[in-house]
Amino acid sequence: MWCMEEMKVRKQFRSIRAAVGVLAMVMTASFGLSAQAADSYPSKPIQVVVPVGAGGDTDTNARLFGKFLEKELGQAIVVTNVKGGGGTIGMRRVMDADPDGYTALFFHGEAMIPQLAGLVDFGIDAFQMVGIGVLDDTTVLATHKDAKYKTTQEFVDYAKAHPGEVEFGILTGGYPHLIGIVLQDVAGIKLNLVDVGGNAAKTVALKGHKIDVINTQYGLTKDYFTSGDFIALGLLSDKRNGTFNAIPTAKEQGYDLEFDKFFFFAMPKGTPQAIVDKFSAAMKKVVDNPEYKAEAAKFFVTPTYMAPAEATVYAQKQQQFFAKYQDLFRAASKQQ
């Protein structure tokens, strides 16, 4: 009886050991294939999906960064604009792509917002972070030249005296939508949030006096500020930007509004880490490139490299900030 039990135990042990051996062989083979894939990567053009329309700051940063990234990776970077759904259509395209390193997402913190608004069930954590390459602390509140207010305080005073009349341009479920919600909460005002589309569309709408106020990136609309067509009400950052120091922050004017952007690359979950690391290392070389820095300075953005782990932590902190306004944002989204 005892011998039979011992034989059963030994047989089970041999089965387990054999299974472990097979698993180890599979893992070793997979690692070998991943390493081999990374050695030859990239061997063809890489598609970078920008989940917004052409002409905005996301598109501009993607194309500029991509131009220098091509030199580091030795393959073409094909920027593809896939707009719609507050960025979620383009994000889904990347999520559903093969995890082979040949499809990447280029986006910013807006990637978190549709989930925050309850519009979708995924966010930035649905991707494999590759790295952050650009920081942008140039978000300004802007109005057109014929507006009756020229500063953040004058704008707030006017909005309080005319509740619901000031039209603030947004993209429903997007970054401008969140800014509008937070602006109303912090300033104690009621705005008319009007969906006009992405940054390029907002710029056109403000220039044509179709709306009254937008948030925009200074470098994207600098010519309009220079010509006097646009008036900067305040910079939505912690401190003044040294490259256009004349524009005061909203914080200086009594309203704690800080909406800096970070731009990142990400890939589908399951992309081999060796490929992610190779792409990320190329990002660092771009950020360190003096020629790229000089080009980026024309748009007043700051080339800043963060590796996958550091970039993930940075994004998580940004998400925690956004989450403070989740209830307000979801309530407002239902009203749109």
Q: At what angle do helices 308-323 and 273-288 cross, to 10 degrees?
A: 90
| pTM of the complete model beyond 0.85 | no
Closest CA relative to residue 142, chosen from 203, 223, 57 = 203
The per-residue pLDDT for 3 is 47
DSSP H/E element including 49: strand 46-50
The per-residue pLDDT for 15 is 55
Rounded to a whole number of angstroms, the distance between the first and last alpha carbons of the chain is: 75
The per-residue pLDDT for 10 is 52
The pair phi, psi for residue 221, each rounded to 5°, is -120, 20
Q: Tell me how many helices (H) and strands (E) the chain has.
A: 12, 11
Strand order in the sheet with 46-50: 77-81, 46-50, 103-108, 261-268, 127-136, 302-306
Q: Choose which CATH entry (3.40.50.720, 1.10.3720.10, 3.40.190.10, 3.40.50.300) describes domain 139-259.
A: 3.40.190.10
Q: Are 232 and 225 in contact (CB under 8 A)?
A: yes
Q: What is the pLDDT along the chain (336 residues), one digit of tens a residue?
A: 444 444 554 555 455 455 545 555 555 545 554 566 678 999 999 999 999 989 889 999 999 999 999 999 999 999 999 998 889 999 999 999 999 999 999 999 999 988 888 889 999 999 999 999 999 999 999 999 999 999 999 999 999 999 999 999 998 878 899 999 999 999 999 999 999 988 889 999 999 999 999 999 999 999 999 999 999 999 999 999 998 999 999 999 999 999 999 999 999 999 999 999 999 999 999 999 999 999 999 999 999 999 999 999 999 999 998 888 888 877 766 665
- The domain segmentation of the chain, as residue ranges, is 41-136+261-331, 139-259
- Number of C-alpha atoms within 13 angstroms, CB side, residue 283? 27
61 contacts: CB under 8 Å, gap ≥ 6: 106, 134, 136, 263, 299, 301
- Three-state secondary structure readout of 220-278: CCHHHHHHCCEEEEEECCCCCCHHHCCCCECCCCCCCCCCCEEEEEEEECCCCHHHHHH
What is the rounded distance in angstroms from the CA atom of residue 235 to the CA atom of residue 140? Answer: 4
Q: Choose which CATH entry (3.40.50.720, 3.30.70.2740, 3.40.190.150, 3.40.630.30) describes domain 41-136+261-331.
A: 3.40.190.150
Say whether 139-259 and 41-136+261-331 share the same fold. yes
DSSP H/E element including 178: helix 175-187
